[in-house]
C-alpha cells in the first residue's frame, strides 16, 4: 500500500504556476528561535523561517515526507511577498513553489521510499467514542502547554485523525481502521514522558481515551526529493 504524503506532487511540479508580483528575500542571522507569519488576502510575510519549513509549506508536506540537504533546517530567511490580487491557500502554495524555483533555483522530484510508519487501528476492547450524526462540519483545535498537548476534534474521521497524529509522531500515519463514521472527541497526552508528573503518552492516550492504537510498520511513502537548491537567493 502506498501512502500519499504529497497530494498530486507530479502535477504540482509539472504544471506552470502563478508567481508573486513582488517578493523580497533576506537572510535572517538574528539567531532568534522564534518565527513569525502574517497572511493577507494578497500577501505573505515569513520572518525567521528555516528554508526547510518554507519548502514544507510550499508543497503542503509533513516533515517526514521531505528529503533535502540538512542545511535547509538551519538557514533562515525573511520573505515579504505580494500577489497581484486576492489568492487562496492553494494559489499561495503554488506561488511559494515558483519563488523557490526562480529565486533559489530549486529542483525537485517526487519519489517513493520505504519508511518507518504507523497504521491506525482499533485497540482491543473496541472504540471508546461514539459516532456523531448531526450536520456539523470538521474542525480541529490543537493546544500546546508545557506539560500536555490537547487535540479537540469535531466531526473527525479516522483518516483525518491519522493526518493530525502524523504531525505529532513525525512519521506517516495511515488509517487502516475501516471505520467510516465521524467522531467528536478530546485527546490529551504529555509529550515529555521524562517529567515526574507526566501524563499518558500519545500512544497510551489513544488506547485509553479513544480505543484506538498505532502499530509500527515499514511502508512505501510518497516523498519529495530536493535535487538541488541554492543557499543564496537571487537579488531582490
Lowest mean pLDDT among 10-24, 38-52, 134-148, 167-181: 10-24
How does the average pLDDT of the chain come out, rounded? Answer: 91
Among candidate residues 114, 14, 15, 98, the one with its CA nearest the CA of residue 64: 114
Residue 11 pLDDT exceeds 60: no
What is the three-class DSSP state of 71?
Answer: helix
Q: What is the pLDDT of residue 231?
A: 96
How are strands ordered across the β-sheet holding 22-28?
22-28, 76-82, 43-50, 36-39
Q: What is the pLDDT of residue 15?
A: 57
Q: What is the separation, in whole angstroms, between the first and last Cα of the chain?
A: 44
What grid cell was written down for 105?
533555483
Cβ-contact 229, 69 below 8 angstroms: yes
Q: What is the DSSP letter of 146?
A: S
Q: What is the pLDDT of residue 134?
A: 87
Q: What is the pLDDT of residue 9?
A: 54
Q: What is the pLDDT of residue 97?
A: 97
Q: What is the pLDDT of residue 1?
A: 46
Segments in the chain forming alpha helices (H): 9-14, 51-59, 89-103, 158-169, 202-205
C-alpha to C-alpha distance for 217 and 222, rounded to whole angstroms:
15
C-alpha to C-alpha distance for 151 and 191, rounded to whole angstroms:
12
Share of residues in the chain with pLDDT > 90 (%)? 82
What grid cell was written down for 120?
491506525
- What would the pLDDT profile of 126-184 be if each residue is shown by its tens digit? 999 999 988 888 999 999 998 899 999 999 999 999 999 999 999 999 999 999 999 99
What is the pLDDT averaged over residues 106-118?
96
Q: What is the pLDDT of residue 14?
A: 47
C-alpha to C-alpha distance for 229 and 105, rounded to whole angstroms:
6
Amino acid at each position: 500500500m502506498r501512502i500519499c504524503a504529497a497530494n498530486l506532487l507530479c502535477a504540482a511540479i509539472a504544471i506552470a504556476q502563478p508567481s508573486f508580483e513582488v517578493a523580497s528575500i533576506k537572510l535572517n542571522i538574528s539567531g532568534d528561535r522564534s518565527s513569525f507569519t502574517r497572511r493577507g488576502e494578497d500577501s505573505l510575510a515569513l520572518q525567521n523561517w528555516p528554508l526547510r519549513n518554507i519548502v514544507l509549506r510550499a508543497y503542503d508536506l509533513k516533515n517526514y515526507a521531505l528529503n533535502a540537504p540538512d542545511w535547509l533546517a538551519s538557514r533562515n530567511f525573511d520573505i515579504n511577498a505580494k500577489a497581484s490580487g486576492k489568492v487562496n491557500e492553494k494559489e499561495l502554495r503554488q506561488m511559494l513553489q515558483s519563488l523557490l524555483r526562480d529565486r533559489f533555483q530549486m529542483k525537485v522530484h517526487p519519489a517513493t521510499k520505504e519508511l518507518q510508519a504507523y497504521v491506525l487501528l482499533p485497540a482491543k476492547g473496541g472504540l471508546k467514542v461514539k459516532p456523531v450524526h448531526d450536520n456539523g462540519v470538521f474542525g480541529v483545535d490543537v493546544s500546546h502547554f508545557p506539560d500536555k498537548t490537547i487535540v479537540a476534534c469535531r466531526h473527525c474521521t479516522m483518516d483525518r485523525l491519522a493526518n493530525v497524529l502524523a504531525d505529532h509522531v513525525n512519521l506517516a500515519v495511515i488509517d487502516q481502521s475501516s471505520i467510516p463514521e465521524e467522531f467528536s472527541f478530546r485527546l490529551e497526552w504529555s509529550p515529555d514522558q521524562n517529567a515526574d508528573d507526566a501524563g499518558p503518552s500519545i500512544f497510551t492516550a489513544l488506547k485509553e481515551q479513544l480505543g484506538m492504537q498505532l502499530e509500527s510498520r515499514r511502508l512505501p511513502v510518497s516523498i519529495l526529493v530536493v535535487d538541488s537548491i541554492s543557499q543564496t537567493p537571487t537579488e531582490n
